[in-house]
Structure 1
Amino acid sequence: MPGTFGNQRGKRTSHRLVVEELGQAVVGGEFAIGETLPGDTDLAARFSVSRTVLREAMKTLAAKGLVVARARIGTRVLPRAHWNLFDSDVLTWHFGAGVDEDFLRHVSEVRLALEPYAAALAARRASDVDIARMMRLAVAMGDASHSPHTLALADLEFHLRLLEASLNPFMRTVGSLIEAALMGVFQLTSPTADETEIDRVAIAHIRIVEEIRRRDEEGARNAMEHVIRVGQERLIMDLRGRES
């Protein structure tokens, strides 16, 4: 809380706390679309923060498209069409609130629109050093000691490095979407990692790098598309298993 670790650090910690809890509450439906949030006095008391910290947090949520403040009216929850789903926080809050098959398909569709093309660009532009790094990451994904969480982190590291290897700066900016999507996968998968699945994931990613090393743009594109589609199918199966 404020004052515990020094003014600036405490302020940032309190700010993040308010953003996280209110953001999750909005995305999770605690506050309905069009609803006006409690007033500054009530929210400041709820989170034990100053009104200054609260207002900064509201500005952050407004920048993410979740709320809008109006003088003498209050802060209102905006329709979902305004929410910035490319923001990693917003996407993470969606996974935290619970997602359905349609949402998972929508995430995969965006990945399919971006990552296969990034793989093709990497096949055209990646340096030998980039390719060697990606191969090391792909091979490391086959470590039998992986838990679902560490496998998700290794998966994330690979995809972020590939986006960088495309040498398109805009591709790297969509890394937040990939990061939140893969961390969402961790939340929905089983608590134990299956060795067969670990091997499958590693082999599929090694194939992407092999196509990039061959400078085969179409091959790299297809290999990345395969990884995303198979991952989507596995995730939907896990979701159905939880619901049954």
Structure 2
Amino acid sequence: MQRGMLDAAIGFRKLRTNHAQVVHKLGLDIVSGTFKTGDILPGDADLMERLKVSRTVLREAMKTLTAKGMISPKARIGTRVTERESWNMFDSEVLLWHFEAGVSEEFLLHLYDIRQAFEPYGAGLAATRAKDADIARLVAYANEMGNTAYSKEKRAIADMNFHVLITEMSGNPFMRTVGSLIKAALAGIFRMSNPEADPNEISDVSASHLRLVEAFRLRDEVAARREMERLIENGRQQILEFTARNSRR
């Protein structure tokens, strides 16, 4: 899948500045294992030469990666790559670096686990607080998902917008924060696993999302939770099928 529209939809940072380029390069090198957990990064002079940046740019980039939990600077020792358990996996850049480096089936299933932990409850909240304008937007997104005249990327963006809107409808600020994780997770999954679907499959995706919208229209909290659980489980099964097909190639 082409990345232009999808990157724009998730607000992915364009690497226009030296700072953004260094953060991306070092972050991706850490996630991919070029710099392994426990490694001491090369010194400032070495990194400045490799990356062709000033000391100021490098240090600002190091601060950004420290804030993401990926490195830990120590006086007279150097900057160490931290254990993965310390990384902020709710950070959209960290999550997208994983997709760029290549993710395993286990990693994808962990994402679906965390979605099941949050999204059904968020859908229940949204059902009690849904406004007619919100429901109209969800219907529009669901119909876009079922429009076979649209590109795969445009249908994927509609799916992503649908789920993020529900976190906003919940009215819970913590759910809105989870929305950024959901957005990055879906973007990464769509990038790697959105094959050409036949018209019947496209129609089924749209219909399943419209069933959730109907629960919102009825202000049925229990049905909203149930339909969201089904949506996420269907996505999980599709990922299992996708990785199984790839493993046989």
Query: TM-score, normalising length from structure 1?
Result: 0.91
The number of residues matched between the two structures is 234
Which residue number in structure 2 is paired with residue 80 of structure 1? 84
Q: Give the superposition deviation at 1:173.
A: 0.7
- Out of 192, 210, 218, the residue aligned to residue 222 of structure 2 is 218
Which residue number in structure 1 is paired with residue 64 of structure 2? 60
Alpha carbons of 1:236 and 1:158: their partners in 2 closer, same or farther (altered >3 Å)?
Answer: same
Deviations 1:49-85 (A, max 9, x none): 1110111111111111111111121111000110111
Does the 8 Å CA contact 1:68/1:78 hold for their aligned counterparts? yes
**Does 1:30 find its partner at 2:28?**
no
Matching of residues 101-116 of structure 1 within 5 Å: 101-116=105-120
Q: Give the superposition deviation at 1:191.
A: 4.5
Q: Give the superposition deviation at 1:200.
A: 1.6
Q: Which SS does the other structure have where 1:76 is aligned?
A: strand
Q: Which SS does the other structure have where 1:75 is aligned?
A: strand
- Out of 76, 83, 92, the residue aligned to residue 96 of structure 2 is 92
Q: Which runs of 5+ in 1 are unaligned?
A: 1-10
Which residue number in structure 1 is paired with residue 144 of structure 2? 140
Deviations 1:87-136 (A, max 9, x none): 11111111122222221111111100111111111110111111111111
- Out of 164, 169, 181, the residue aligned to residue 160 of structure 1 is 164
Which residue number in structure 2 is paired with residue 7 of structure 1? none
Alpha carbons of 1:118 and 1:85: their partners in 2 closer, same or farther (altered >3 Å)?
Answer: same
- Out of 239, 245, 248, the residue aligned to residue 241 of structure 1 is 245
Does the 8 Å CA contact 1:27/1:97 hold for their aligned counterparts? yes
Deviations 1:149-199 (A, max 9, x none): 222211111111111111111111111211121112122225434322221
- Give, as a single letter, the amino acid of the residue that structure 2 aligns with 1:218: V
Which residue number in structure 2 is paired with residue 43 of structure 1? 47
Q: Which runs of 5+ in 2 are unaligned?
A: 1-14
Deviations 1:210-244 (A, max 9, x none): 11111111111011111101001101211222222
Which residue number in structure 2 is paired with residue 192 of structure 1? 196
Q: Identity percentage over the alignment?
A: 52
- With 163-172 and 195-204 compared, the bigger mean Cα shift is at 195-204
Which residue number in structure 1 is paired with residue 178 of structure 2? 174
Q: Give the superposition deviation at 1:42.
A: 1.4
| Partners of 2:29 and 2:149 in 1: CA distance | 36
CA RMSD of aligned residues (A): 1.5
| Partners of 1:102 and 1:201 in 2: CA distance | 24
Q: Give the superposition deviation at 1:36.
A: 0.6
Which residue number in structure 2 is paired with residue 119 of structure 1? 123
